[in-house]
Structure 1
Amino acid sequence: MRGRRMRPRTLWRRCVGSPMISPQRRRPITHRPSPCQHSAEPARRKYWSVRSPTGPSNTLLTESYELDGITPSRIERPNTADDLSAALKSIHSDGQAAVLWGGGTRMHVGNRVARYDAAVDMTGLNRIVDYRPPDLVVVAEAGMTIAALRAELGKNNQRLPFDAQSPGEATIGGSLASNAVGPLRGRYGGVRDFVIGMSIVQADGTMTKSGGSVVKNVAGYDLARLHIGALGTLGAITTVAFKIGPVPEVMRTVVAWFDSAESAAVAGMRITNGAFMPEAVTLVAGQRAAAKASELAAENYGKASDNAVMLLIALAAGPATVERQVNDTNATLGGAMTDGFVVLDDDLQLSAWSLVDEQSPTPAFSIRSTVKPTAAFDLVSALSKSDSFDETHIVAQIGFGTVEAHFWGNISGEVVRSAQDAVINAGGACMIERCPSELKGDLDVFGDLGAPLDVMRRMKQQFDPDGTLSPGRFAGRI
């Protein structure tokens, strides 16, 4: 009896992050950054040549090795973890103090450094150590920029859902050490939630590591989190292992403008607590937001008030899902007290999100606070009404209650205290991210941390008893 003829099976390769589908039905996905992850051109910098004590002549950045009015007498620029270990061992044995440098985008964060003899430029450690797209894991060196990492992951339609300011200059290590935040945190969590492993060089040159390079890893203590937000005072981050995810197929941004933050509160909370979770819900207030709202209103035959605030809602998923989310968002805005709204895609939405990071020229005073999401609107309103500044620019992430406020003008101690009082009255915690150097001598930019400060002091004593790494820069002038 003739056997039944069997049709050969076809093996279909599955795209990471997408279901197994027929090649005929699969639609190619062109990598684009999230609308919140807009790119920024790195600033042009001048270079000089200086001989490093641990190696041959290196080309180093002249800009911003000065910190809090102190210029270091020694500059190290390691290219490997072994170079970094040797440099820190030498600095430690010489009884000097070192400050770690990445792209320099957040060096203004922290208290005034007590001693500063050597600058350690980490940008030479800028390579991908391990990348396994099917496992959704990447291991990168700390000196790699966020933009460079994003470009490598984008080749496989993958991403790290973290949006740093100035991604062309901001490094992985610097973003972690300063605990940078962005709009995507409301949906995906902070950048520390994606860290599954980390390698560290301690103040005396000892090389350590914690975690691993697999997602399901529960071995040992999660020591990596000690270094996230520590401003490089406990050790130098050398490599970081991240869990990553797929790039959404379609992205849209709905921009609405209101006459006040109070008016935006109803729509903002309805969308945040609605039937679906947006990529981001961000409120922007200040003169620049009002100007952008007027521009969008004029393009769409509408009108915006002189003190308008903007609500940006980022949506990302498959085509049908995004279309439904856009319709639901528009319906919510239509029932709120909005003066107008528009749906943007492609470069137009990137332009809208660039307003979130608009800080040119450099602000004279910046604070970051965390409050309940419902209180974020009231805090934005209180900070916007201050007449002590020439200009204000306030960004509130509604999904997790972080409010960043930037001010231009003459800054005094009284002005700083009034901003701190506004945050305290809103029931939040306040950190001064930028202020004149002379004011840092009179205050702790981290505020009063209470009992946890004793634990932090003991940690510093264990990891860096001689105060080699950024002494005085962390909370309590640790």
Structure 2
Amino acid sequence: MNAISSSLASIIHTENAVVPWENLEPAQQQPIQLAMNPKSNPSCIVYPHTQAELSGVITTADANKWSILPCGNMSKINWGGLSRNIDIVVSTKRINKLIEHAVGDLTITVEAGMKFCEVQAILAKSGQILAIDPAFPADATIGGVVSTADTGSLRQRYGGIRDQLLGITFIRADGKIAKAGGRVVKNVAGYDLMKLFTGAYGTLGIISQLTFRVYPQLETSATVLLTGKAEAISQAATILQGSELTPTKADLLSNQLVSNLGLGNGNGLIIQFQSINESVKEQSNIILTVGEKLGLESAIYQDEDETNLWQQLPEKIHSSVNNSEISCKIGVLPTAAMEVINQIKLGLIHLNSGLGLVRLENQDQVLALRRLCEANSGFLTMLSAPVEVKERLDIWGYSGNALPIMQGIKKQFDGNLILSPGRFLGGI
């Protein structure tokens, strides 16, 4: 066992909590290598079991200026920038307890290492949901979902993660445990650390506990899919946006995504309605009628077929950690969403926000689509990609003027620059 591993093993006495790099199987090393500069390997991976143990690990790392790559279950460890010269990988997957589920207050507090699917299973027993649908829901930890701001299509009705997060506990770079927010649904004055940590990729602190607002599980659900010519899909989307209908999800689909899923030809507009039974039937029929008038093919999905369809959409886009293709998050003006989706082979765009996911094959496609997004007041950020591609290209594609502010915040939270160095934009 190397010196760093030995030092950390004296803090965490549980068996197999500190694993030296050389003891990891190649299959365990590979996801980590896709998140790092390939010129060096970490000394070990550490699995604290409590927030106190996590605090002890970070305190020791800060005192020795050991750099840390935080992660949960590694389902998204290859998203974002390549971290530099990592000494320790710290996983929160074993810090995974339910702290409190206040059913009547519609809140839940869990430790960051709990899997997203496990949170939903707990809530389902009380007829409630966490209104997020991230990538890799069976594997992703709730802390990782927040750190990558991975909301999904439910943004249409419920907003982003920042809108649902009520409280956060995190370990500062100096090892101290800090808290912000609370366990009740209310507005608070002051600096909003929940919003700051959402999408920060572990560069400001390591999230250890989270409190969310939750929502009642609605009685009935149905999804309407319209497919056909781009112009008609655009008209259907405009009619939906100008109507009084209340979809839970609404996404524009590229023609190749429609084809790959065996859903027909042309572009797609997929809309989910969730409410009481009568409302879902009425709203679905209205959209079906719109599709018929515009000459679009239509289908309606419910129950297991509906669940499977929504699961397949992101699976067709997101690369696994072993894949050589490139997945990206994009954003454009919602008014330009149809124009942009027509230029994408494999992807989707959330109708109201203009945010979307795409899968690309090479860096030329990345640069071309980035130019198109920027021309429509948007952006393109690479999520997963081969290391050599991330070394050549600007991963974040940020051209705004807020980088000095971000660097100042990073310095304030992490003076020794030990947390996820290089993973965020501007090398933060």
| TM-score of the pair, normalised by structure 2 | 0.90
Match of 1:453 among 386, 390, 403: 403
Residues 292 and 223 from structure 1, CA distance in 2 versus in 1: closer, same or farther, beyond 3 angstroms? closer
Q: How does 1:333-344 map to 2 (within 5 A)?
A: 333-338=291-296, 340-344=297-301
Do 1:233 and 1:469's aligned partners in 2 also have CA atoms closer than 8 Å? yes
> Counterparts of 1:427 and 1:197 in 2: how far apart (Å)?
32
Query: 1:150 aligns to what SS in structure 2?
Result: helix
Give, in angstroms, the shift of residue 161 of structure 1.
0.7
Alignment length (residue pairs): 405
Give 1:405's aligned residue: 358
The residue type equivalent to 2:60 in the other structure is S
Q: Which residue of 2 aligns with 1:34?
A: none
SS in 2 for 1:214: coil
- 1:141 paired residue among 90, 95, 111: 111
Distance 1:273 1:188 in 2: 19
Q: Give the direction of change, closer, same or farther, for the CA distance of 1:443–1:292 in structure 2 (3 Å limit).
A: closer
Q: Aligned with 2:100: secondary structure?
A: strand
Question: Partner amino acid for 1:396?
Answer: I
Residues 380-411 of structure 1, C-alpha deviations (whole Å, 9 max, x = no match): 11223xxxxxxxx2111112111211024xx2
Offset of 1:286 from its aligned partner? Answer: 4.4
Alpha-carbon distance between aligned partners in 2 of 1:406 and 1:378, rounded to the nearest angstrom: 17
2:237 to 243, 268, 275: 268
User: Does the CA-based 8 Å contact 1:257-1:293 persist in structure 2?
Assistant: no
Match of 2:302 among 326, 345, 358: 345
Q: Which residue pairs with 2:372 in the alignment? A: 422
Could you tell which deviates more after superposition, 323-332 or 129-138?
A: 323-332
1:436 partner letter: P
| Residue in 1 that maps onto 2:67 | 97
Correspondence for 2:349 among 396, 402, 420: 396
Cα contact 1:177–1:230 (8 A) shared by 2: yes
Partner Cα separation in structure 1 for residue 324 and residue 305 of structure 2: 26
Paired residue for 2:220, among 238, 250, 255? 250
Task: Write out aligned runs for 1:55-74 (5 A).
Answer: 55=12, 56-58=14-16, 63=28, 64-66=31-33, 67-68=35-36, 69=38, 70-74=40-44
- CA drift of 1:195 comes to 0.7
Larger of the two Rg values belongs to structure: 1
Structure 2 equivalent of residue 354 of structure 1: 311
Q: Do structure 1's residue 375 and structure 2's residue 328 form an aligned pair?
A: no
Matched-pair contact (CA < 8 Å) for 1:234–1:464:
yes
Alignment equivalent of 1:237, drawn from 180, 190, 207? 207
The structural deviation recorded for 1:176 is: 0.6
Secondary structure in structure 1 of the residue aligned to 2:287? helix
Bigger shift: 439-448 or 163-172? 439-448
Question: Percent identity between the aligned chains?
Answer: 29
Residue 268 (structure 1) shift? 1.6
Q: 1:341 to 1:436 in 2, by over 3 A?
A: same
Aligned 8 A contact 2:257 2:347 in 1? no
2-structure distance, mates of 1:75, 1:243: 32
The yes-or-no answer on 1:278 pairing with 2:247 is yes
Which residue is 1:152 aligned to? 122
CA contact (8 A) 1:262 1:381 kept: no
Runs of 5+ unmatched residues, structure 1 = 1-49, 295-303, 385-392
Counterpart AA for 1:270: I
Cα deviation code 1:418-476 (max 9, x no counterpart): 22112122331221212321232333311134221111000011000111101111110
- SS of 1:110's partner is coil
Secondary structure, aligned partner of 1:115: coil
**Aligned to 1:169, what secondary structure does the other structure show?**
coil
Q: Which has the higher helix share?
A: 2
> What SS does the corresponding residue of 2:236 show, helix, strand or coil?
helix
Q: Distance in 1 between matches of 2:186 and 2:341?
A: 40
Deviation at 1:309, TM superposition (A): 2.4
Q: CA RMSD in A?
A: 1.9
Tell me which amino acid in the other structure corresponds to 1:80.
T
SS of equivalent to 2:90: strand
Aligned counterpart, 2:288: 330
- State the alpha-carbon separation in 2 of the partners of residues 130 and 110 from structure 1: 32
Deviation track 1:309-334 (CA, whole Å, cap 9, x = no partner) reads 22211010001111111121112212
Amino acid at match of 2:193: L
Q: What is the aligned partner in structure 2 of residue 318 from structure 1?
A: 276
Q: CA deviation at 1:103?
A: 2.0
Alignment CA distance shift 1:157-1:248 (3 Å): same
Are residues 1:432 and 2:382 paired?
yes
Deviation at 1:133, TM superposition (A): 0.2
- Kindly state the Cα deviation for residue 288 of structure 1 after the two structures are TM-superposed: 4.3
Equivalence for 2:102 = 132
Residue in 1 aligned with 2:92? 122
Shift of 1:293: 4.3
1:216: how far off? 2.0
Contact 1:371-1:427 within 8 A present in 2 as well: yes
Rate the CA distance shift 1:77–1:469 in 2: closer, same or farther, 3 A: same
SS of equivalent to 2:151: coil
1:284, 1:356 within 8 Å by CA — same for their partners in 2? no
**Structure 2 stretches of 5 or more lacking a match?**
none
Q: Provide the rounded CA distance (Å) in 2 between the counterparts of 1:76 and 1:253.
A: 43
Alignment partners' CA distance in 1, 2:47 and 2:261: 42
Q: Deviations over 1:211-243 (max 9, x none)?
A: 111112525432121111110000011111111
Task: Please report the TM-score for the alignment, with normalisation by the length of structure 1.
Answer: 0.81
